[in-house]
Amino acid sequence: MTRLFGTDGVRGLANKTLTASLALQLGAAAAQVLTREVHSSKRRPVAIVGRDPRVSGEMLAAALSAGMASRGVDVLRVGVLPTPAVAFLTDDYGADMGVMISASHNPMPDNGIKFFSAGGHKLPDEIEDEIEKVMSDLEEGGPTGHGIGRIIEEAPDARERYLKHLAGAARTDLTGITVVVDAANGAASDVAPAAYEAAGATVIPIHNKPNAYNINDKCGSTHIDQIQAAVREHGADLGLAHDGDADRCLAVDHEGTVVDGDQIMAILAVALKEKNDLRENTLVATVMSNLGLKLAMDREGIAMDTTQVGDRYVLAELNARNLSLGGEQSGHIIQPKYSTTGDGLLTGLSLMARMAQTESSLKELASVMTVLPQVLINVPVSDKNAILDAPAVREAITAAEEELGETGRVLLRASGTEELFRVMVEAASEDTARQVAGRLAAVVAAV
């Protein structure tokens, strides 16, 4: 049986694989699992529900809310806000669970459902598995009369609570910094410019007019060329590009050069170390982070631990060791002191705060790390789980690693969602990376 939950909640084509009836059942089952202890204490549980502006979000929010109310949960709808805002508000309102309806950087026809437990934390695999089990054996009906949950259509102070939280985390005057903000016509279209302006920055917003259909449409962090052009056009100090639910942030410097998640982590790690705020002097990244990040951290005297791909695994490591900073090359940056999940707006504020505090350009700050050329080839295969067991593949990997030595890196892994095998090579030159990756991909394809 295929698992319903993926690496970041439940995702699919809205009204096809992710239907209103599925959302109704999912809401009821999640409420039953996540509020079980609250019901036993005779207190009415509360759920926070937010969404991004894509058209299917309205339908799915209604269905999820109905499902949770049918299990005796009061639902507080906070409207269109970023995923990290919903995580924060789940904790700030003292709610028992939170739900974000978003497919992040996916195109508009898709949508997704992400759950948070009390305190605004993403669910571990075992809780997601329990929700799926309850869904398969969900009882009809539920409480009646006074036991049915209420649905409050709008939380009037949700946006202001989140903005106040961001202001408290930033605490640096950004006056004098001009920033272009690409909101991807997504959940941060209103709140991102407001947060940056409140900190003192001069903001030039682009793609901040969502109409329910244009989210991530040739804009945002997956179409970085848009903000590169805008930064050059306006002569801005930097640009910040968010995705549809604003849990990630990529940047470009004043010349329009991309500053990715690895470089952002390097900048913030050095800043935290200088203030003695980098716990255990350690940064957490994934195996997909560029080797240049590891080399930069070695040079700065900072340890770097790696996890498998996925911000949830980074977060688990951060929480397990009470660490200060982690993230992904894609721009998911997590600062547990201020957020229980990746927060693109907090990342943007932190980056600009470092610029203001050091009176440095983003280009100067990003020079702490040299990005090594990285080549990724996706190889279609018949059985992705058998590739690494093949003697020819193991021999090819050993040969490649010996050829690259300490100046490069090889990573082969199966795709988590498709019948593909990913071959990634980093080297001192792009030509070398391409040659080695090509040879490895050919061996994989022949298995």
Which class for 177: exposed (0-12), middle (13-18), buried (19 or more C-beta within 10 A)? buried
Place of tokens 């026809």: 109
Q: Confirm or deny that 339 is annotated as ligand binding.
A: no
Q: Confirm or deny that 65 is annotated as ligand binding.
A: no
Q: Confirm or deny that 245 is annotated as ligand binding.
A: yes
Which amino acid does the sequence have at 314? V
Q: Confirm or deny that 243 is annotated as ligand binding.
A: yes
104 catalytic? Reply is: yes
Q: For 399, how many CA atoms within 13 A lie in the half-sphere containing its CB?
A: 12
Choose, from 56, 70, 102, 104, the residue flagged as catalytic. Answer: 104
Cβ-Cβ contacts under 8 Å for 122 (sequence gap 6 or more): 87, 114, 115, 116, 312, 315, 340, 341
Question: Which residues are registered as beta bridge partners of 240?
Answer: 181, 251
As a whole number of angstroms, the distance between CA 326 and CA 305 comes to 9
Strands (E), 255-369: 258-259, 282-286, 303-307, 326-327, 333-334
Helices 191-198 and 158-170: angle between axes, nearest 10 degrees = 40
Sign of the Cα torsion 91, 93, 99, 103 reads: negative
As a whole number of angstroms, the distance between CA 347 and CA 67 comes to 34
As a whole number of Å, the end-to-end CA separation of the chain is 27
Q: Please give the order of strands across the beta sheet that includes 258-259.
A: 202-206, 178-182, 238-242, 249-252, 258-259
**Residue 424: alpha-carbon gap to chain centroid:** 22
Place of tokens 């980056």: 351
Q: Please give the annotated binding residues, written as ranges.
A: 104, 243, 245, 247
**Which residues define the annotated binding site for Mg(2+)?**
104, 243, 245, 247
Q: Which active-site residues does the annotation give? A: 104
